[in-house]
Structure 1
Amino acid sequence: MRKLTCLLLLFFISGLLYSQELPNISISENFNNTSLSKVIRVLKNKYDVKIAYDDALVTGVKVNGQYNDKSITAFLNEILSSKGIDYQVLNGKIILTPGQVNIDLKTPSLFDLTVFGMIQDAQTGELLPNALIRVAGENKGTVSNKDGFFSLSQVPTDTSTIEITYLGYKKSKVKLDPTKSRMAIRVSMAENTLDLAEFTVVDLRTDNTIQYGEEISQISIDPHSLTSLPSLGELDIFRSLQLLPGISGTDETSSDLVIRNSPSSQNLVLLDGFKIYRLDHFFGVFSAINPDAIRDIQVYKGGFGPKYGDRVSGVVDITGKSGNFNNPEYSFGINLLSARMSVNAPLNEGKGAIHFSTRRAYTDIIRSNLFQKLYKNYRESSNQLNNQENNNSLRPNFHFYDFNLKSTYNLSNRDIASFSMYWGRDELYTDFDQITGSNTNRTTENIDENSLWGNIGIGATWSRNWNKNYYSSFQVAYSGHNFDYSFQSEDRDENGQVARTHSAERLNEVADLQINYRHELKLKEIHKIDFGLNVSSINTINDVTIDERIQQPTGNRKQSGSVVGLYASDELRVTKNFRLNVGFRHNVTDLTNENYFGRRLGMTYQLTPSLKLKLSNGQYYQLARQITYDDPHSNLQDGWNLANNQMFGAIKAEHLIGGLNYSKNGFMVDMEYYQKDVYGLVEFTVSHLISAGMSNHPQPLITVSNGEDKIRGLDILIQKKIGPYHGWLSYTHSKSSSTYSQINGGQRLPSRLDQRNEAKFVHVLEFKKFNLSATFLYGSGKPLFKPTLNFIRNNDGTIINYEILNLNKTVERLPTYHRLDISAALKFENEEIRGEFGISILNAYNHQNIQSKRLNINAIERAIGNGEEPRQLYRDIVLLDFTPSIFLNLFF
């Protein structure tokens, strides 16, 4: 009965629709490429015609022609009949509805329209972020967002061809279909695999390993293309980034992600939206992030937009793998230090997917020669072990592990929910005796060192693509970091009496709860507006103890507060070739009871199809920072502190960047000049002084110095990819200087990270059965700051003690750095499995590179009781020598 009632009601309404007559109106107008929406406004306002319609139905429809005394019926039939739009009349109101029309697929019917949809991996179904979408033959384009959605405005016609490029994938071309021009398109992209016959090149591939993004100083990296680079057994993301211009590559540690002469702590590192506070495993040997868990990497070396906050140097935005929506996949890898595995699998018949990956070092079980060499390098870089005469006594218990978990679920065609988690941890335990001196003057040094550190990150995100013009995402995230370090050293003479003791303890914890609400909105085809809200509730704990004396120069042991950031930016296409990006970020915090407003301005101009000019300026603030402990006597590491009203406020930076990009036929040249002025820096300088009435052992004294950096530089990248070869040359010329109020009387000095010249050559040959690669790094010497050493003598001229005055420094330059790394891998596969087995050799010609020099505390203390100062006051901190490594990677 209900169905019959509905049919009768439908029949009645249909009868009404076709029984109504249009008003007797004559239309006299001249339209020249006028949008249908404007024509409708003319009918409404001038002729009092009532019309109802859906905006999506008329978007991109143009009307042309001169109409004289046309009836409303004839006029509507003439302008709508070829546009796939029909109309009906109800109670005197015209209702536009989709109509049936035979469209010539070669003849456009819609003009200046917006194309929207999503980009996905053809094999796994995973949505691809940061893919470049543009109209074939034109420079203007857009990029897909974090969930693979895109909206490309001002497409000329509904028969245009859309090109989609994504690093590591074959270029896709989509010919628009006029019959489906109002539908979302879904583009599947295939990975870019070599198609070589008997190792003969059959095509010229023009996609590059490195791609500059739409924003200034933004670089996109293809993680898969980096796997063939020399390494310690597995792809290391941060070490690979160090091969780019403007990112220092001469420190040989993953944790030292020095971007344009600023320390790592001034960079924002995000994994699926939550912050990573520490970047390394094994004291910098490995990156904190497992490469098997990474889908996409975006690097901003400066001038980044307002959606990124609370850092003043650069941004590394990492998107994790979502898993495989179609079929399960597995992988396994092993090298001389660690093993790893990963699983990608679909959920609920492809509506969702899950990714899981994990790594563990087995160095606590098997101490390979490579591990002993790496551990020796770490040990020599500290002053905790002052003599290396008995290296065989070192038996550290050390290992690290981490895991990544990400689950993604398509709630609907518009809604995506995801959950991401990361956890990593390092554990080091060392306890041994070291004997130094002669048989008649023997000293036994007992060393006990424990170090535990790690990260945790959790994020839950809901995102929705509301329509072709509006997208939003909401995330709740947590980031945690802990570092717990203790060191005890006790010297005993040949009689077993305690001669000297030294101890250092460091505790640093960070707990950061975040809420991120982001929006992307397109208006009137020429405005792309990003706006949102970031809320962070952050807590830190800091304990520093040197020789059993509590050192707390920052004030409170525990710090807590909140930061609320509001941001907005508008990407305005002023003309076809000129793009202007303006925005701001406003932070409100109870840490300092101050507000921080930072502007953003970016401009690009496409001078020719191959040449783009770019300019950027911005103001940035940072409220969470790592405090540098400059202590020549101990191995205290930097710790995270919060700005406060007692000691220091926020770090402030001004960026100015200008450059050009030339790209044609697989050849690319990019040049950027940058200026960066950083204010509000703080350094804790530790001197060791003899105080009256206290122990004869030098006592630590911490001095707080406020400072600033001035940085100027030029980055150049030249890249070429043809056939099986791809490679690049990156070069940076820069100058960085610092001024600290208490150091050398406030004199301007080279900054600690000042390196005038750095060049990196990367070459990769990748064939179907094997690949070869080589990298060469060159860097001019970095500055060395030597403290003043004061030997105290008695009346006989015998040294009875010493002091280290660390506020008065002598500046020297270290030797030039250079190193050649090579790698080769053999590929194999069958129906069940594919894999690669290879070898990497770091520092192939065994050049001795010196990272730094440190006071030889052991030699200095042995000089007590003698009349002469030691000949070698400093010892070299030597980096890796000839270091081979093998690896095996399997994929199921």
Structure 2
Amino acid sequence: MISKKITFLVLFIFSLAVKAQDNTVKTLLKDVLVEIEKKHQVTFTYSDKDLENIYIVKPNSDLSLTETISYLKSVTPFNLKVLDNRFITISYLEKKISICGKIIDSNTSEPLVLATILINNTSKGTSSDNNGEFNLGSVPANAEITISYVGYQSITLPAKNLFTNNSCKEIYLDDLMEKLPEVIIPTLLTTGLQKNIDGSIVLNTKKFGILPGLIEPDILKTIKVLPGVESINESVSNINVRGGTNDQNLMLWDGIKMYHTSHFFGLISAYNPYLTQKATVTKNGTSTKFSDGVSSTISMQTTNNISDVISGGAGFNLLSADAFIQIPITKKLGLHASVRRSITDFLDTPTYDKYFSRSFQENSIASNKENEASTDFYFYDYSFKILYDINQHHLLRANLINIQNSLDYTEEYTSGSTTIEENSLLKQENIGANISWNAKWTSSFSTEFSAFISDYKINSSDFNKETDQFQTQFNNVLETEIKFTTNHLLSDAITLTNGAVFNEIGVANKTTVNAPTYSKSVKEVLLKSALFSEIELHKNNTYARFGLRANYFHDFNKFIVEPRINVRQKLRNGFFLKLAGEFKNQTTTQKIDFQDNFLGIEKRRWVLADNNKTPIIKSKQASFGTEYSKNNLQIDIVGFYKFVEGITVANQGFYNNVQTLNSIGDYTVKGVEFLVNKKSEKISTWISYTFSENNYDFTEFTPNTFPSSLDIIHSFSSALNYNLNNNIKFSLGAILRSGTPYTKPVEGNETIQDGNRIIVNYDTPNQDRLQNFFRVNTSLSYNFNLSKKLKSTARVGFTNITNRKNVVNTYYIVDENNTDKTKRIDTYSLPFTPNLSFRIDF
């Protein structure tokens, strides 16, 4: 139903786009000359530089050659001289040309009086009269003219574009609607990391400098350097923000909600960073425009402007190769595209070997290396973006992204005199598409319409010849959304935003087993809609944003109202106070499967809230802190409190006696984040520390309160970035954090009988902790130019240079040789792992 509505709205938008175009289409003069040459069998000779950016209305096709030449003389600042019946020269009428114009407000069409018109690099200029008109007389033909007016955006034009052979040209100026700069810290930790006034962190991938261990601006790896952001198993698909699970992060790519975030089963981000212009991370005080993601919002945006020239780049590392390109098809139409694919299925590298062993260490792929086995593994992602400017006030954008991982594993081994072959398959895919229409109706009022669809699928099958058992699992999430937003500039300092959103989510899960015969299929659909409103104040030393979002869940006939607040006040001498708070909810969560399926590597399946056994997850969060920013010294201290209710045992990843129970609970996180960052011209160094306590509360358990599986009490990191010069950069950093909780079996009574099975008899949940996690990483970057237009970057990175064996997860299984005992299974982080990359950009 929603898909049909989206299709109708897309067609409606494009019909408006066609109607909105100017009836008088101008064409590049060079292109017009080519058509005339073909039609009249003549050749024009001219200087390419003279004809740059000259646009005219095409002459009537019925005109003769003589009439066509006369027409060109009347609408251009050129003299056309016919040398013989074939060759025609084009040159300026004089070395100086006469120009004039009329300055007009682009919104009201009113003339702008006393606008300033200057000839660049000279002292000559004038101003517009009461009718907005001006006349500069004769100026050099190659001069450039700058036109400015208080409160409006200045523009610079070639003098030849204002040639007045016919009539004075109309020049439209846009209001300067820019508020005070939103970026208050242009460089945080490294170039490309910035801090906004609302407390969110922005990663600008084009300006990315260097971070320890990284060879590219991997979006999800980069944000892990921020205080309060952890990954207990070092996976980018398992990012834990202030003690939350990974499925509590709202992932948006150009407004599309994404359900799959990684390649190589969590070890690298699934989003190509070279077409993704920036990523914004918000931990608290989120805008009411966003729902879901009770722990954080990570919004990625690609370049939104049509470039003047073709640009792009390509590169490779020891896992994959990628390329991207930005093509200006016309002045109003552009195309952006990117593609990335792994090279590991035909090239074995040291990095691939380390990543492979890390990913598969818990399952048969790693444990049966001595058998005859073949593994066909690859991943890829691609994206396309179409940009269409109807005019300067109406912009259309359409996006498509596809992310895929594929694994085909076949193993042969001998059992007695029989050769046994087992085959397992796993395929993950997330396809997303959206369309948006941004419209600026007046200088103070604008709107945005957007619609997206996101389709996530995971298919797996596992065949065990020895037991003659064949298992399949299927998980599918299909989400569509329509959103309409209005922005009203009430004054220079106050903006009012209102909007409405309609959303439909469908989740399907299917499991089949042939021996014993078992099949289960569940499909659920949830409709929800919301209204949101917020007012934003940004004046002098005060920033404040207050908002309210009202959510209605149609299937449950339920309302949830969510207030949001974000305040920042500058005091004196570089000190700031900041306060943030929010209520949020989310309706999709991941269920963790502990059986040996999905090849033991992808155990998470998305499920939908049913308002019963799987409730809507709701959070309340508040934070208060102070900040000092002066003389390239940044000190940031924030205390936070977060309460999340509606979690279930199935989505918390327990390895203990409660993991099979059906219970609903909550968790509470309290903590402090501390960051000191000192920068100089060549050095940026920082120390960050996070203290937090994260506890579960499940009333049906004994004890009902115990440490969360994600409880990291102490987390410390430090790093040093050194720029030897503009081209060579070095980074070294270390991470030290507390080990996470785990559960041991009962000493002296490690196993118990459960029906026909013998299972592990776990002790009190999460009472023991793993050893502290410690790792040192380093990176080196070198920039150089292959030519004037080709820029190159070579980077090398080393993860875990001390080769420390960090245990990131522990659980127990029954010992097959002695069922009264258990065996401990440890999962280790990456060992010493090198990687390098090389890129060319143009």
Taking structure 2 as the reference length, the TM-score comes to 0.74
Is 1:562 equivalent to 2:527 in the alignment? yes
**Structure 2 residue aligned with 1:664:** 630
Would the alpha carbon gap of residues 393 and 658 (structure 1) be closer, same or farther in structure 2, given more than 3 Å must change? farther
Alignment of 1:563-642 (within 5 A): 563-572=528-537, 576-608=540-572, 610-629=574-593, 637-642=603-608
Alignment-mate amino acid for residue 718 of structure 1: V
Residue 650 of structure 1 deviates from its aligned partner by 0.8
Alignment-mate amino acid for residue 402 of structure 2: W
Q: Secondary structure at the match of 1:861?
A: coil
Would the alpha carbon gap of residues 233 and 626 (structure 1) be closer, same or farther in structure 2, given more than 3 Å must change? same
Q: Confirm or deny: 8 A CA contact 1:686 1:806 kept in the other structure.
A: no
Is 1:733 equivalent to 2:683 in the alignment? no
**Structure 1 residue aligned with 2:261:** 279
From 453, 463, 479, the equivalent of 1:488 is 463
Would the alpha carbon gap of residues 684 and 770 (structure 1) be closer, same or farther in structure 2, given more than 3 Å must change? same
Alignment of 1:197-346 (within 5 A): 209-215=192-198, 217-226=199-208, 228-231=210-213, 233-249=215-231, 251-322=233-304, 325-346=307-328
Cα-to-partner distance string for 1:449-473 (whole Å, 9 max, x where unaligned): 2111021111111101223311211
Q: Secondary structure at the match of 1:863?
A: coil
Would the alpha carbon gap of residues 546 and 879 (structure 1) be closer, same or farther in structure 2, given more than 3 Å must change? farther
**RMSD, matched Cα:** 4.0
From 778, 781, 791, the equivalent of 1:834 is 791
Distance 1:335 1:452 in 2: 23
From 408, 415, 439, the equivalent of 1:464 is 439
Alignment-mate amino acid for residue 336 of structure 2: H
Is 1:869 equivalent to 2:821 in the alignment? yes
**Structure 1 residue aligned with 2:719:** 762
Residue 726 of structure 1 deviates from its aligned partner by 2.7
Alignment of 1:853-892 (within 5 A): 853-856=810-813, 860-863=815-818, 869=821, 873-892=823-842
Would the alpha carbon gap of residues 614 and 429 (structure 1) be closer, same or farther in structure 2, given more than 3 Å must change? same
Alignment of 1:691-702 (within 5 A): 702=660
Distance 1:235 1:206 in 2: 14
Distance 2:210 2:540 in 1: 40
Would the alpha carbon gap of residues 660 and 683 (structure 1) be closer, same or farther in structure 2, given more than 3 Å must change? same
Deviates more, 1:317-326 or 1:881-890: 317-326
Cα-to-partner distance string for 1:80-109 (whole Å, 9 max, x where unaligned): xxx9997xxxxxxxxxx87999xxxxxxxx
Alignment of 1:328-727 (within 5 A): 328-348=310-330, 350-380=331-361, 382-384=362-364, 388=367, 390=369, 393-433=372-412, 447-491=422-466, 505-544=472-511, 557-572=522-537, 576-608=540-572, 610-629=574-593, 637-684=603-650, 702-727=660-685
Would the alpha carbon gap of residues 458 and 423 (structure 1) be closer, same or farther in structure 2, given more than 3 Å must change? same
Residue 724 of structure 1 deviates from its aligned partner by 2.7
Distance 1:804 1:119 in 2: 73
Distance 1:648 1:761 in 2: 40
Alignment-mate amino acid for residue 413 of structure 1: Q
Q: Confirm or deny: 8 A CA contact 2:360 2:601 kept in the other structure.
A: no
Alignment-mate amino acid for residue 861 of structure 1: E
Would the alpha carbon gap of residues 810 and 762 (structure 1) be closer, same or farther in structure 2, given more than 3 Å must change? closer
Alignment-mate amino acid for residue 837 of structure 2: F
Residue 307 of structure 1 deviates from its aligned partner by 0.8
Q: Confirm or deny: 8 A CA contact 1:629 1:686 kept in the other structure.
A: no
Distance 1:615 1:373 in 2: 43
Would the alpha carbon gap of residues 246 and 435 (structure 1) be closer, same or farther in structure 2, given more than 3 Å must change? farther
Alignment-mate amino acid for residue 195 of structure 2: Y
Residue 760 of structure 1 deviates from its aligned partner by 2.0
Cα-to-partner distance string for 1:501-524 (whole Å, 9 max, x where unaligned): 776543210111111111211214
The count of corresponding residues between Structure 1 and Structure 2 is: 687
Distance 1:352 1:687 in 2: 48
Q: Secondary structure at the match of 2:661?
A: strand
Alignment-mate amino acid for residue 775 of structure 1: G
Would the alpha carbon gap of residues 392 and 342 (structure 1) be closer, same or farther in structure 2, given more than 3 Å must change? farther
Q: Confirm or deny: 8 A CA contact 1:630 1:683 kept in the other structure.
A: no
Q: Confirm or deny: 8 A CA contact 1:268 1:275 kept in the other structure.
A: yes
Alignment-mate amino acid for residue 584 of structure 1: L
Residue 244 of structure 1 deviates from its aligned partner by 0.7
Distance 1:710 1:701 in 2: 20
Residue 757 of structure 1 deviates from its aligned partner by 1.1
Alignment-mate amino acid for residue 885 of structure 1: N
Distance 2:450 2:210 in 1: 35
Q: Secondary structure at the match of 2:221?
A: helix
Q: Confirm or deny: 8 A CA contact 1:233 1:336 kept in the other structure.
A: no
Distance 2:192 2:696 in 1: 35
Alignment-mate amino acid for residue 350 of structure 2: N
Taking structure 1 as the reference length, the TM-score comes to 0.70
Would the alpha carbon gap of residues 149 and 219 (structure 1) be closer, same or farther in structure 2, given more than 3 Å must change? farther
Residue 548 of structure 1 deviates from its aligned partner by 5.4
Alignment-mate amino acid for residue 626 of structure 1: Q
Residue 242 of structure 1 deviates from its aligned partner by 0.3
| % identity of equivalent residues | 22
Residue 434 of structure 1 deviates from its aligned partner by 5.3
**Structure 1 residue aligned with 2:89:** none
Distance 1:644 1:356 in 2: 39
Would the alpha carbon gap of residues 392 and 369 (structure 1) be closer, same or farther in structure 2, given more than 3 Å must change? farther
Residue 827 of structure 1 deviates from its aligned partner by 2.5
Would the alpha carbon gap of residues 707 and 548 (structure 1) be closer, same or farther in structure 2, given more than 3 Å must change? farther
Distance 2:517 2:176 in 1: 55
For structure 2, the residue ranges without an aligned partner over 5 or more in a row are 1-106, 115-126, 136-148, 157-173
Residue 734 of structure 1 deviates from its aligned partner by 0.9
Distance 2:565 2:150 in 1: 26
Would the alpha carbon gap of residues 749 and 803 (structure 1) be closer, same or farther in structure 2, given more than 3 Å must change? same
**Structure 1 residue aligned with 2:168:** none
Would the alpha carbon gap of residues 687 and 815 (structure 1) be closer, same or farther in structure 2, given more than 3 Å must change? closer
Cα-to-partner distance string for 1:379-433 (whole Å, 9 max, x where unaligned): 11x3556x73635745311000010111222221111111111101000011214
Distance 2:711 2:638 in 1: 18
Would the alpha carbon gap of residues 520 and 538 (structure 1) be closer, same or farther in structure 2, given more than 3 Å must change? same
Would the alpha carbon gap of residues 768 and 678 (structure 1) be closer, same or farther in structure 2, given more than 3 Å must change? same
Distance 1:314 1:114 in 2: 40
Residue 572 of structure 1 deviates from its aligned partner by 3.6
From 803, 807, 817, the equivalent of 2:773 is 817
Alignment of 1:159-178 (within 5 A): none
Residue 646 of structure 1 deviates from its aligned partner by 3.9
Q: Confirm or deny: 8 A CA contact 2:404 2:427 kept in the other structure.
A: yes
Alignment-mate amino acid for residue 837 of structure 1: A
Distance 1:207 1:844 in 2: 21
Residue 635 of structure 1 deviates from its aligned partner by 5.5
